[in-house]
Structure 1
Amino acid sequence: MTPRRAASGLALALACLLAAGPAAARSTDRDQPMELDADSQDCNVADVNSTCVFSGNVVIRQGTLDVRASRAEVVRRNGDIEQVILTGKQATMKQQMDDGTMMNASADRIVYEPNRQILTLTGNFKVESPRGSNSGQKMVYNMGTGQMQSGGDGTRVRTVIQPKAQAGSRN
């Protein structure tokens, strides 16, 4: 999986978290060039088992996808992306959905594991869309099964589901 596909997968996973209807991450975004800006980059592209680190004011843009973090690590094993780790106070992501609405997410740490199809948000996470919101200290989302787990660790989680009429009228 290329870094472009990994970021697109991350966006799609977050979008699916609150999709009560057919809305999905902007499908044309994954066909756009990806821009990664940071104060510094440290990466060994010749090693198939390496970690590329982007640090300081990291900005990743691809179409309507906009990711911001203090640090981004792309971990490769055998040439495949094993993990994308975004950290900061807070790492944020926003993207327009195919239906025109916006999805926003933030957490102190966002870990995307494309081969396992697992997305983990920890540290004051919040995912918001016109359909609703989910917030707490930790959320694990399995993109393959659609299973989302939050809380259960002694912390509280909060979910708000907007009425269908209200969710469809927001932008």
Structure 2
Amino acid sequence: MKLFLASTLALALLASNFAASAKTSDRNQEMTIDAGAQIGVITGDGVTTLSKGVVITQGTLEIRADSADIHMKGGEAVRAVFTGKQATMKQQLDDGSWMNARADTIDYNITTETIVLTGNYRVESPQGVNTGGTMTYNTRTGQMNSGGDGQRVRTVIPPKNKGTPPAAATPAAKTTVPTAGSKK
């Protein structure tokens, strides 16, 4: 039972902290952890492994991975590592929009409250899309660091008024001038 609780604790911390504006009511929802297999330590130090397709849901939060390793120290979860081709995470934000993230590895250090997305990561939200090789996100401060790993980082920020073209780009209204001999 302690093994399950430790896994739940690690995943709950990941879920509640990944996005600063994640739906706050999700933290009060039941968490469901579904995996094909689970093996590991229940006390002390070691790793608990969830494998054969891992699906974690809590409210609007959904994490999917091929496997997850929950690292234990002194009987407490200190790190959760989700892997796959690709591990994914999605969650509704408080404003009703959605945040989607994917990477080959999603590594959450519970102690430092940092998440590292590694391996062709992509994070999408209403604020834009960020892609690259590696991103580190500090859930305490909101600080995000990308790149520096030899790969390019790309950020695409949508315009604030998506449906309204800029005035300069709006074609001028056509005026029809009657010509000689016309009935107008």
Cα separation, 2, equivalents of 1:48 and 1:93: 29
Q: Which residue number corresponds to residue 27 of structure 2?
A: 30
Question: Which of these two proteins has the greater Rg computed from alpha carbons?
Answer: 2
| Bigger relative contact order, structure 1 or 2 (CA pairs below 8 A, ≥6 apart) | 1
1:151 to 147, 154, 157: 147
Cα separation, 2, equivalents of 1:129 and 1:149: 17
Rate the CA distance shift 1:26–1:2 in 2: closer, same or farther, 3 A: farther
Rate the CA distance shift 1:83–1:8 in 2: closer, same or farther, 3 A: same
Query: Are residue 111 (structure 1) and residue 115 (structure 2) matched?
Result: no
TM-score by length of 1: 0.85
What secondary structure, in the 3-state scheme, does the structure 2 residue paired with 1:15 have? coil
Runs of 4+ in 1 over 4 A off after TM superposition: 1-5
Structure number with higher strand proportion: 1
What secondary structure, in the 3-state scheme, does the structure 1 residue paired with 2:10 have? helix
What secondary structure, in the 3-state scheme, does the structure 2 residue paired with 1:28 have? helix
Q: Which residue number corresponds to residue 40 of structure 2?
A: 43
Q: Which residue number corresponds to residue 59 of structure 2?
A: 63
Counting aligned pairs with the same residue, the percent is 47
The one-letter code matched in structure 2 to 1:128 is: E
TM-score by length of 2: 0.79
Cα separation, 1, equivalents of 2:56 and 2:136: 22
- What number of residue pairs does the alignment pair up? 158
Q: Aligned Cα RMSD in Å?
A: 1.8
Matches within 5 A, 1:81-100: 81-100=77-96
Rate the CA distance shift 1:162–1:6 in 2: closer, same or farther, 3 A: farther
